[in-house]
Amino acid sequence: MAERWDPTAFRTRVDEVLRRFVAQEADLFAAIDPLLDPVAEQLEAAVADGKRLRAAFCYWGWRAVGQPDSDALVRAAASMELVHAAAVVHDDLIDDSPLRHGRPTAHVALRSAVPARTAGVGTAAPGADGTARSLAMLVGDLLMSLAGQLFATCGLPAAYLARGRPLWSLLARELIAGECLEILRTGTGPDTTASLKVIRYKTAKYTVEQPLLIGGALAGAGEGLRAGYSAYGLPLGEAFQLRDDLLGLFGEPEHTGKANTDDVRGRRPTALLAETWRLARAEDRERLGALLGRHDLGVAGLDAVREVMRRLGAPDRIEHMIGARVAEALDALHRLDVPAPATGALTALAHSAAVRLS
Residue 12 predicted with pLDDT over 70:
yes
Q: Would you give the DSSP letter of residue 103?
A: E
pLDDT of residue 115: 54
- Shortest CA distance to 265 belongs to which of 276, 278, 249, 250? 249
Using CA atoms, how far apart are residues 325 and 319, in angstroms rounded to an integer? 10
Q: Whole-number mean pLDDT of the chain?
A: 91
What was the pLDDT predicted at 297?
A: 79
Q: Which one, of 325, 341, 351, 314, lies nearest residue 60 by Cα?
A: 341
Q: 120 pLDDT band (50/70/90 cuts)?
A: low
Whether 271 has a pLDDT exceeding 90, the answer reads: yes
For 78-82, 137-141, 188-192, which range has the lowest pLDDT when averaged over its residues?
188-192
The count of other CB atoms within 10 Å of the CB of residue 35 is 11
* pLDDT computed for residue 74 by the predictor: 98
Minimum mean pLDDT among 58-62, 180-184, 232-236, 267-271: which range?
Answer: 267-271
Q: What is the pLDDT of residue 319?
A: 96
Residue 75: how many CA atoms within 13 Å on its side-chain side? 18
Output the pTM of the full model.
0.92
Give the model confidence (pLDDT) of 175-215 as tens digits. 999 999 999 998 888 899 999 999 999 999 999 999 999 99
Nearest Cα to Cα of residue 240 among 104, 56, 15: 56
pLDDT, tens digit (0-9, with 9 covering 90-100), for 213-236: 999 999 999 999 999 999 999 999
Greatest Cα-to-Cα distance within the chain, rounded to the nearest angstrom: 65
Class of domain 7-354: mainly alpha
pLDDT for residue 113 is more than 80: no
Q: Parse the chain into domains and list their residue ranges.
A: 7-354
Query: pLDDT tens digits for 15-49?
Result: 999 999 999 999 999 999 999 999 999 999 999 99
Number of helices (H) and strands (E) in the chain: give both, helices first: 19, 2
Which residues partner with 103 through β-bridges? 100
Residue 66 falls in which region: left (phi positive, over 0), alpha (psi -120 to 50) or beta = left
CA contacts within 13 A on the Cβ side of 289: 9
Q: What is the pLDDT of residues 276-300, one digit of tens each?
A: 999 999 999 999 888 887 877 788 8
pLDDT tens by residue, 297-321: 788 888 899 999 999 999 999 999 9
DSSP per-residue codes, 281-327: -HHHHHHHHHHTT-TT--HHHHHHHHHHHHHHTHHHHHHHHHHHHHH
